[in-house]
Amino acid sequence: MGFGPSSSIITMAYDKKKILITGVSGLLGSNLAYAFASDYDVIGLYKNFSLKLKGIKSESVDILHASSLVKVMASFKPDVVVHCAALANIDECERNPVLAKQLNVEGTANVLQALEGSDVKLIHISTDAVFDGLKGRYKEGDATNPANQYGITKLEAEQIVSKYKNLLIVRTAFWGWNAQPKLCFAEFVIQELSQGKKIQGFTDIFTTFLYTFVLARLIDTAIRKDLKGVYHFASSTAFSKYAFACQIAERLNLDKTLIEPVSIEAATLVHRGRDLTLCADQLARDLGQKVPSLEESIEQFCRDFQSGFFSKIKMSGDL
């Protein structure tokens, strides 16, 4: 399986299924919509920030309004629902725990209510933040112990959807191209280093996150294999945030000496787990394929950047 721009779009050998994506204007939602557009009939739901991608329908629907969700589900009749919508900014969740609970917990309950009585496949996007980050290489059966409001609300959401039979919970961490006017860490690294600016990289925060288009291919395979239950979608290798930034700099011939290695202790951030690495052995076994390494994800990301592929996502957002 390749990892370049030409492989970013998923190809499948069966009739199109209908996929509904909540939070389609978010980073993951927009990237999944683009990845699935050629081979699925896709509709995306957003609240304020619309998305304009060729071949994708979109509607403004507030997931806090259960009746609106019921209406769009009945109209579109999806085969699969990918629930991406969430308040994912860790600091914002800490500043506004009420809003975090509304969007991450109550919104999820409304999605589940809209699916009541159906056999639609629900893919619930969760997070590595359901763990405390004290040991790393977490397996699906390990005890959860979130360290912040974001993780707490996402774990509550998992508990809500767990009663649904046709369910796949995707615990993951990711990076990709933001359709909204903000940058993920990888985009920030490229922007700042390209301008000769110094940045900081944490040497004691470790992750197994995936490039969104690699994650999309894994989710597609999971749909075809009809996986159910809780799975960790993660890279087979792990990096610190500092090493991750350095890898991108090296691959794109940027000056990695501009990246200052620092400890999380030096930052005034909401408590974050230091080692939230996930073990994806169960996923690899049940998909019947190797899980890509973080190096492979970085390689595809950088090729997509150099080819200009990313601009298709960046130009799709509209306030």
pLDDT digits (tens, 9 = 90+) for 217-272: 999 999 999 999 999 999 999 999 999 999 999 999 999 999 999 998 877 666 78
Are the C-beta atoms of 82 and 17 separated by less than 8 Å?
no
- Rounded (10°) CA dihedral 308, 215, 105, 108: 90
Q: Domain of residue 189: give its range.
A: 5-318
The pLDDT value recorded for residue 67 is 94
Helix, strand and coil content of the chain, in percent to the nearest 5, comes to 40, 20, 40
Answer yes or no: pTM beyond 0.85.
yes
DSSP string, 194-258: HTT--EEEESS-EE--EEHHHHHHHHHHHHHHT--EEEEE--SS-EEHHHHHHHHHHHTT--GGG
The pLDDT value recorded for residue 3 is 32
**Residue 261, helix vs strand vs coil:** strand
CATH number for the domain spanning 138: value is 3.40.50.720
Cα–Cα dist 68/113, whole Å: 11
Number of domain units in the chain: 1
- Which backbone phi and psi does 302 adopt, to 5 degrees? -70, -35
pLDDT digits (tens, 9 = 90+) for 9-67: 444 444 789 999 999 999 999 999 999 998 899 999 999 888 787 788 999 999 999 99
Mean pLDDT of the chain: 91
Cα–Cα dist 32/179, whole Å: 12
